[in-house]
Amino acid sequence: MKHILIISFILIFFLGCGPVEEVAVISTQFGDIVIAFFPEVAPKHVESFMLHAREGYFDGTTFHRVIPGFVIQGGDPNTRDENRMNDGLSGRAARFYNVGTEADTTSWALPAEFNDCPHVRGALSMARSQDHNSAGSQFFICVADVRRLDNKYTVFGEVIRGLEAVDRIVNTPRDERDNPLEPVAMTIKLIPRKDIDEQ
C-alpha cells in the first residue's frame, strides 16, 4: 500500500510539471475574447500566432473587416496608421516556414494546414490570398457557421469565452469596405489556460 501511495505521488508530481497550455486573450473596447488553440491540426499557424502575440506584433492593430453573419478580421500591422486604404494589405508569418524568401521577412508566409475543423461560430481561422500558402498574420473569427470555407482556410483555434464581444464588434457601424468607422483596436496576450478555467 505504501508503494502505491509513493508511485501515486510521483505520477502527480510529474504530470503537474508538464507544459503549460496557453490561451490568447484578445482585449478590445468591447470586451475580451479568449482563444484556445488547435496545435494538433495546425501547428505552424498556432506557433506563428503565439510568437506574434508574445512579441506584441498585434498590439495596436484593429479589426479592419467586420461583416455581420460572416466574420470579424484583424491582425494587419497596416491598421496602426491613419491610412484606411491600406488596411488588409499587410502581415507576415512570425518566422520562416519555407514559404517566401528567408532573407526577406516581409515575404514570410504560412503553408496551408487545412483540416477537418469546421468554420462554425467562434472558429478562429487564418486569412490568405488566392495562393493556398499565403497566410501571414491576418486572422478571422466566424460570427456564424460559414461551412463554405471548410478545407479552404486553416482553422487553428476557437473562442472559448467572449462571443458577446465578437457580436458587439461585428455590429459596429462600418464603411463601404466593411471597416469600422471607429477603430476597434486590440492587444493580445498569452496566459495559462488554468487562469481562465479558475475564473
User: Domains along the chain?
Assistant: 20-197 (2.40.100.10)
Work out the pLDDT band at 196, boundaries 50, 70, 90.
confident
Work out the pLDDT band at 7, boundaries 50, 70, 90.
very low
Q: Which three cell numbers stand for residue 183?
A: 477603430
Measured between its terminal Cα atoms, the distance across the chain in Å is: 37
- Using CA atoms, how far apart are residues 47 and 144, in angstroms rounded to an integer? 26
Q: Which of 58, 3, 14 is nearest to 33 (CA)?
A: 58
Segment 51-60 mean pLDDT: 98
- Using CA atoms, how far apart are residues 141 and 165, in angstroms rounded to an integer? 11
- Using CA atoms, how far apart are residues 122 and 126, in angstroms rounded to an integer? 13
Beta strands in 149-186 (DSSP E): 154-161
